[in-house]
């Protein structure tokens, strides 16, 4: 079955420190992977995606993610966290079984960056 | 990037009434839109896929007679919650696919918070 796992409900980071938000996936076929961010009472904002090519993907607001096929992971990273990065982050994978355009979301990880 | 709007951004209604939520793609045409529901501190759950000019496809467990979806044009899809009950209170988010972009990327609306009293 196709699925996405975000093992951490919350990640706490001090401002200026590097951050990592973890995501692992299980899909049939080639994975199309996405990261989205959600601020309170707002919709999802696209951060970055991996379709093919370089395993290190750079996205919006200084975020990047590394696709690791052997570990089936797509962790989100940022070298230096900002307080304004505090939000809810979702990893998603394209559902190649039920529908080419459907997304399966992870449970979400709340990032808290402390001053 | 492509912009998707939702109206209203929040709505409060009495139990038993119906509520309509609009989802519009502002600067692109969207043959496919999706409707999600998000409960507090939970992930997005896909409710249905809305295709322009045809009937919506509902996910398992979603009542199609309760959540009416109409995709009348390439820029507008509506979700009507009929005979709303307090358990329908949730955050409803739509997304739209831009057929002009690569890999049919989804663009999300800002969401509509529904509270049923």
CB pairs < 8 Å spanning A and B? 50
Residue B29 pLDDT greater than 90, yes or no: no
Q: Is the pLDDT of residue A27 over 80?
A: yes
Confidence of residue A33 (pLDDT cuts 50, 70, 90): very high
Chain B contact for A43 (CB, 8 A cutoff): yes
How far is the alpha carbon of B112 from chain A, nearest alpha carbon, in Å?
Answer: 8
Identify the pLDDT of residue B102.
Answer: 59
Arithmetic mean of pLDDT over chain A: 91
Q: Is the pLDDT of residue A31 over 90?
A: no
- Give B-chain residues touching A99 at CB under 8 angstroms: 49
In whole numbers, what is the pLDDT of chain B averaged over residues? 90
Beta strands (DSSP E) in chain A are 3-5, 10-14, 19-21, 24-26, 33-38, 44-50, 56-58, 64-68, 73-78, 87-95, 102-105, 109-114
Give the model confidence (pLDDT) of B95-107 as tens digits.
998 766 556 678 8
pLDDT at B88 over 80: yes
The predicted-structure confidence for B43-75, as pLDDT tens digits, reads as follows 889 999 988 888 899 999 999 999 999 988 889
Our CA angle for A87, A90, A93, nearest 5°, is 165
User: Band of the pLDDT at A40, cuts 50, 70, 90?
Assistant: confident
Asked if B33 is an interface residue toward chain A (Cβ–Cβ < 8 A), one would say no
- Tell me whether residue A84 is exposed, middle or buried, using C-beta atoms within 10 angstroms of its C-beta: 0 to 12, 13 to 18, 19 or more: exposed
Residue-wise pLDDT for A51-71, tens only, equals 888 999 999 999 999 999 999
Cross-chain Cβ contact B111/A43 below 8 Å = yes
Q: Is the pLDDT of residue B84 over 70?
A: yes
Judged on CB neighbours under 10 Å (0-12, 13-18, 19+), B91 is: buried
């Amino acid at each position: 079955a196709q699925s996405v796992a975000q093992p951490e409900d919350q990640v706490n980071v001090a401002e200026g420190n590097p951050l990592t938000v973890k995501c692992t996936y299980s899909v049939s076929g080639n994975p199309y992977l996405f990261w989205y961010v959600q601020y309170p009472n707002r919709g999802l904002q696209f951060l970055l995606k991996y379709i093919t090519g370089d395993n290190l993907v750079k996205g919006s607001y200084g975020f990047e993610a590394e696709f690791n096929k052997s570990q089936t992971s797509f962790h989100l990273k940022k070298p230096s966290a900002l307080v304004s990065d505090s939000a809810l982050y979702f990893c998603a994978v394209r559902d190649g079984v039920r529908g080419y355009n459907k997304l399966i979301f992870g449970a979400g990880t709340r990032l808290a960056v402390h001053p | 990037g492509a912009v998707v709007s939702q109206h209203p951004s929040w709505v409060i209604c009495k139990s038993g009434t119906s509520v309509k939520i609009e989802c519009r793609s502002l600067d692109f045409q969207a043959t496919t839109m999706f409707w999600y529901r998000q409960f507090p501190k939970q992930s997005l759950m896909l409710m249905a896929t809305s295709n322009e000019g045809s009937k919506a496809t509902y996910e398992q467990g979603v009542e199609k007679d309760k959540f009416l979806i109409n995709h009348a044009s390439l820029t507008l899809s509506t979700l009507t919650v009929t005979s709303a009950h307090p358990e329908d209170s949730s955050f409803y988010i739509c997304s739209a696919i831009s057929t002009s972009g690569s890999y049919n990327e989804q663009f999300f609306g800002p969401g509509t918070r529904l509270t049923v009293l």
